Amino acid sequence: MSTQRPPLLWLNIFVFVTSLVLAVIVTPWYAYNYGLGWAHLVWFIIAFSFTNLSITAGYHRLWSHKTYQASPLLRGIFAIGGAFSMQNSALHWSSDHREHHKHVDHDTKDPYSASRGFWYSHIGWMLRDYNQATYSDYKNCRDLKKDNIVQWQHKYYVPLTLVTNFGIPIALGVIHQDIIGMFLVVGAVRLFLSHHTTFFINSLAHIWGKQTFTDKNSARDNGVLAFFTFGEGYHNFHHLFENDYRNGIDWWHYDPTKWLIKACSWVGLAEKLRTTPQLKIEKARAAMLLHKAHLKLNAMDACPTLKTKLEQEFDTLIASMSDYYDSKKQLLQNKKQQVVESYEMSLLVLRHQQLKQQFEIQKQLWQSSIKRYA
């Protein structure tokens, strides 16, 4: 790595420092002396949600990972919200993010590598021109060069950013007769929090949480971060299954981005939502538990027969799991095609129920064996 430090990006520094001062110092002073009302809070929540969801559902899951397809209307909304979020154009953002996934944790090739520390991955990588050679032709985003909305936003990113970040708060200030208050709350505070909650995915989500599915990279699953980042906190899952439109896969996982995309599909604004087969997810989860158990057993210098027994139980679990999900897939296909007789369907249903019960029993046995070590 070169010892010469890249030049400072003074515009980025100005934006980050200004939003920090306005949000942390000026806004509390203004609220104390002049007061803020419910209108400020309501419009803050709306603007904060709009900008963050434009990043998570638009920049991230739509354009960076192509996890679903969106209508021109939805893409246009995300393009405007992305400019309002002031995190560069969708083309630029996606180029960075694809490099991050391709070279995750690499000191020089990952644009915001967590291996270089919290500060660098959170904001430091944007304060100096570390990646100046990356953006000559955006060759890793050839597909996005064919998206006319992405290209329009990239071309007019600066005027769109100025219009949204100044025009929207000022317009709200005129309506509610408090231009300064709206500019501070909907403009500065919203921008400051939008920036840093997004940046936490690059930093904290690679430090704090559980490695549920893989330890091949530093990404973590963290439900607390998911709450503040509109579902992006289930980052360990995302780094292994990046083409899934969901980050939180279970019904109790807080993932408003997933819910928004699904809702858009119901009204024709999104289609072809990509998901990871459940069998693949369950295999990865079980394999990670076995790996953690092996690490603990090795540290304990445990008897080899214990490791062998766990591996045998793992193999039995995977076999039972595969039988169950194959049966489920066959049952769904036959129901969809409606080509089997009712008697044959009854046999399929009965067989499926038996495999499901067998899988549940095997899963309980596995969890009972593994919980002492993983």
pLDDT at 79: 98
- How far apart (Å, rounded) are the C-alpha atoms in residues 58 and 65? 10
Query: How crowded is residue 369: how many other Cβ atoms within 10 Å of its Cβ?
Result: 18
d(CA 172, CA 47): 11
Cα distances (angstroms) measured from residue 132 to each of 8, 9, 137:
12, 11, 11
Residue 1's pLDDT is what?
46
Is 161 in a helix, a strand, or coil?
Answer: helix
Six token digits for residue 98? 């694809």
CA distances from 276 to 222, 244, 246, 272 (A): 20, 6, 9, 13
What pLDDT, on a 0 to 100 scale, did the predictor assign at position 347? 60
| pLDDT, position 302 | 67
pLDDT tens for the chain, 374 residues: list them.
456 788 999 999 999 999 999 999 999 999 999 999 999 999 999 999 999 999 999 999 999 999 999 999 999 999 999 999 999 999 999 999 999 999 999 998 999 999 999 999 999 999 998 876 666 689 999 999 999 999 999 999 999 999 999 999 999 999 999 999 999 999 999 999 999 999 999 999 999 999 999 999 999 999 999 999 999 999 999 999 999 999 999 999 999 999 999 999 999 999 999 999 999 999 999 899 888 888 887 777 767 777 788 888 888 888 888 887 887 777 777 665 555 556 565 666 666 677 677 777 767 766 776 766 66
Cα separation, 277 vs 220, in Å, equals 21
Q: What is the pLDDT of residue 319?
A: 86
Cα 190–Cα 192–Cα 195 angle in degrees, nearest 5 = 100
Q: Are 255 and 248 in contact (CB under 8 A)?
A: yes
CB-CB contact of 222 with 204 (8 Å): yes
